[in-house]
Amino acid sequence: MSEQEYLRFAKERKENSDPANNHALELILADGSVYPHPGKFYFADRAVNVKTGTIQVASLFPNPDNLLRPGQYAKIRALIKNKPDALLVPQRATWEMQGRRLVAVVNPDHTVAIRPVKTAETIGTEWVIDEGLKAGEWVIVEGIQKALPGTTVDPKPYAEILAAPVGR
């Protein structure tokens, strides 16, 4: 894991030292399935690899069915932070200008407003938004280059746009 990821993980473990709060690790197998037995953190190497900026970490997973084999490829997923009621927006709905991240918001009167937001980490292809948006506000995902402040738009849910036929 990267040095930054390790530092966040170590901080979270320290803050949640109660064993009941320690989150189990998930093993994602090469076929994308989740291994049915949770694992746990075992140890971290004492040195950071200066070429890659990563730290080698070991974890333990039970293997009662002998499904896991030496050299097998897998990914590990760990819950490092829990952010209840987090706001997520697609990364493609944001752009950066002069060091600030911006989104085009649809006002209640269907006009466009450009608004700065404070982004946190990404989850998949979405940004976690810490400041600048409220739950229920609509952001423009498709056609943001045409969304000028004050322009009137006819918003459609993002899922509908993705499911629309090509010739639409």
Is residue 132 one of the residues assigned to a domain? yes
Q: What is the pLDDT of residues 24-54, one digit of tens each?
A: 899 999 999 999 999 998 888 889 989 998 8
What whole-number distance in Å separates Cα of residue 88 and Cα of residue 10? Answer: 25
* Domain endpoint, select from 45, 77, 109: 77
127 with 64, same domain: the answer is: no
Domain residues for 93? 87-159
Q: Exposure of 42 by Cβ count < 10 A (0-12 exposed, 13-18 middle, 19+ buried)?
A: exposed
Q: What is the pLDDT of residues 64-110, one digit of tens each?
A: 999 999 999 999 888 767 788 889 999 999 999 999 999 999 999 99
CATH code of the domain covering residue 48 = 2.40.30.170
155 with 100, same domain: the answer is: yes
CATH code of the domain covering residue 125 = 2.40.420.20
pLDDT-derived band at 17, boundaries 50, 70, 90: low
What percentage of residues in the chain have a pLDDT greater than 90? 51
122 with 150, same domain: the answer is: yes
